[in-house]
Amino acid sequence: MNLTGDYETDASIDTASIPLDVLLATYASSVPEGFKGETELHATVKGPLKDKTKLEAHLTIPTLSATYQSLQIGAAGPIRADYSHSVVTLEPAEIRGTDTSIRMQGIFPLAGDASLTLTAQGTIDARIVRIFSPDVQSSGTVALDVRTSGSAKNPIVQGQVRLQNIAMATPDAPVSVDKLNGTLELTDDRVQIASLAGEVNGGQLSAGGSI
């Protein structure tokens, strides 16, 4: 790194396997007993730090996984992201786990008028929440198909989120949710509750409207 001018830089960082439980313990107040995980990263930065339009950076995460009891989640393959001309590009990536599969990719401009394109599709098993919050008792499935376009200043979000037999309870919460089914429609800057019904502490609940 030059310490004068535009701070021209050519740097890289490479790690071996990093235990996620140790990493989380550094920043979190507690780590669930029995939680295990690992990650690894390789990154490079090249160009003038004072002129981010000419800066290039590349990030590869070849390994990312976490397990807790019988639950598991992690990257199906290497996660790759690139930064060039003030644009972040996320290469197609997939997160898999216990009855979970989410596919993501996109382009996110940090400056200029480049188009924003982000997509996330797949299903999430609600039990996965217990990997990070063991006190939460959860079940059911969340299916999502979300697409973002427009620009970074004016993003347009469209898609759908479906809740399928969701149950959620925590020791500290006065109420528990069970058999929650519904569909949330995402349109621009609005979330439309197309349908939502379930049980709260054994009583029936239904909802509609928009946010």
| Local confidence pLDDT in tens for the 211 residues of the chain | 999 999 999 999 999 999 998 888 887 777 788 889 999 999 999 999 999 889 999 999 999 999 998 999 999 999 999 999 889 999 999 999 999 999 999 999 987 777 899 999 999 999 998 887 888 889 999 999 999 998 878 888 999 999 999 999 988 888 899 999 999 999 878 899 988 999 998 899 999 999 8
DSSP-assigned letters across all residues of 157-202? EEEEEEEEEEEEE-TT-S--EEEEEEEEEEEETEEEEEEEEEEETT
pLDDT value of residue 110: 86
Q: What is the spatial distance between Cα 169 and Cα 133, in angstroms, rounded to a whole number?
A: 11
Question: 112 φ, ψ to 5°?
Answer: 80, -165
Q: Which of 189, 57, 51, 60 is nearest to 111 (CA)?
A: 51
On whether the CB atoms of residues 64 and 81 are closer than 8 A, the answer is no
pLDDT value of residue 152: 77
Total residue length of the chain: 211
- The H or E element spanning position 21 is helix 20-27
The residues with which 63 forms a beta bridge, in sequence order, are 40
76 Ramachandran zone, left/alpha/beta (phi>0; psi -120 to 50): alpha
pLDDT value of residue 24: 81
Q: Which residue has the tokens 């690992």?
A: 38
Instruction: Say what the pTM is.
Output: 0.85
